[in-house]
Amino acid sequence: MSLTPTLNFRIDENYLIAHTLSSTNKKRFSSNKHKKDIVSFQNFAWSISKQKYLNLIKEYKPIEIKKPKDLSKKAQTFLALLKLSKQYKKILLQTQKYLLLCKSQWNKNLNHSSFLVRELTGIKMIRRFDVYISHPSLKNGMNLNGKILWGHNEDWTNYTTVYLWHEILHSYLSIPKNDRWNHAIIQLIADNELRIKLNGGAYPPFYGHKELFPLMRKILPLWKKYLKSQNKNILDFKHSYLQIL
């Protein structure tokens, strides 16, 4: 029996277009490497029809994967037209190359990173996930009931590996009632402990969403004690710190 999760890396072109067209704010860029090409595609789509552009973003939403049959005829026609453009073909090619990078890095680190996460959590994470890749120069990272949406510049070594584990952990630890607490512990596991086990270094300073750092600082003394324990169980740890804090 495999002790590793199975990730199916794929590109949904309709989602890729919707996510790219919705990412116009400068804060949505993870790097400027392909910014010129992204803006060119956005401008091209806007020049065809401002209303169709806005309707597509409103209808599709960049946080879900939709089947073609669930899109309006107008949206399908607009998407088909965009796919024929030279501007889009650049975006697609860059994303296809990025998918290969993500897949290669994940597979290279799979056995070792799976062992580390299993050691840190006490959980055998063996589920299957579809990973929908978006453009690497745009920020994306979300777990939608087992469907992972992912795209980001490779800011440091093994960045993709660490943050794919971050998203996988949401399938095992996230409970809406205590979402901020769960997210804080996920950041301690993946963004920080797994990162330094793969790359070296130390924390704090923390990596991850800054708004969670105060919670992480509260948890840190108990977390350090937990890391020294034998037979770790992250669910028991989570229950214990929620009782104390």
pLDDT of the residue at 3: 84
pLDDT of the residue at 123: 93
Provide the mean pLDDT of the chain.
93
Place of tokens 């512990």: 185
Q: Identify which has the larger pLDDT, 6 or 174.
A: 6
pLDDT of the residue at 209: 95
Q: Identify which has the larger pLDDT, 64 or 126.
A: 126
Sheet harboring 128-133: ordered strands across? 6-10, 128-133, 147-151, 140-144
Cα-Cα end-to-end distance for the chain: 38
How far apart are alpha carbons 135 and 208 in whole angstroms?
20
> How confident is the model over 194-237, as pLDDT tens digits?
999 999 999 999 999 999 999 999 999 999 999 999 889 998 88
**pLDDT at 175 > cutoff 70:** no
How far apart are alpha carbons 219 and 164 in whole angstroms?
23
pTM of the predicted model as reported, rounded to 2 decimal places: 0.94
pLDDT of the residue at 65: 87
pLDDT-based confidence at 177, cuts 50/70/90?
A: low
Q: Which of 155, 160, 67 is nearest to 109 (CA)?
A: 160
Contacts of the segment 80-87: beta carbons below 8 A, 24+ positions apart? 81/48, 82/17, 82/44, 82/45, 82/48, 83/13, 83/17, 85/41, 85/44, 87/37, 87/40, 87/41, 87/44
Q: Tell me what percent of the residues of the chain surpass a pLDDT of 90.
A: 82
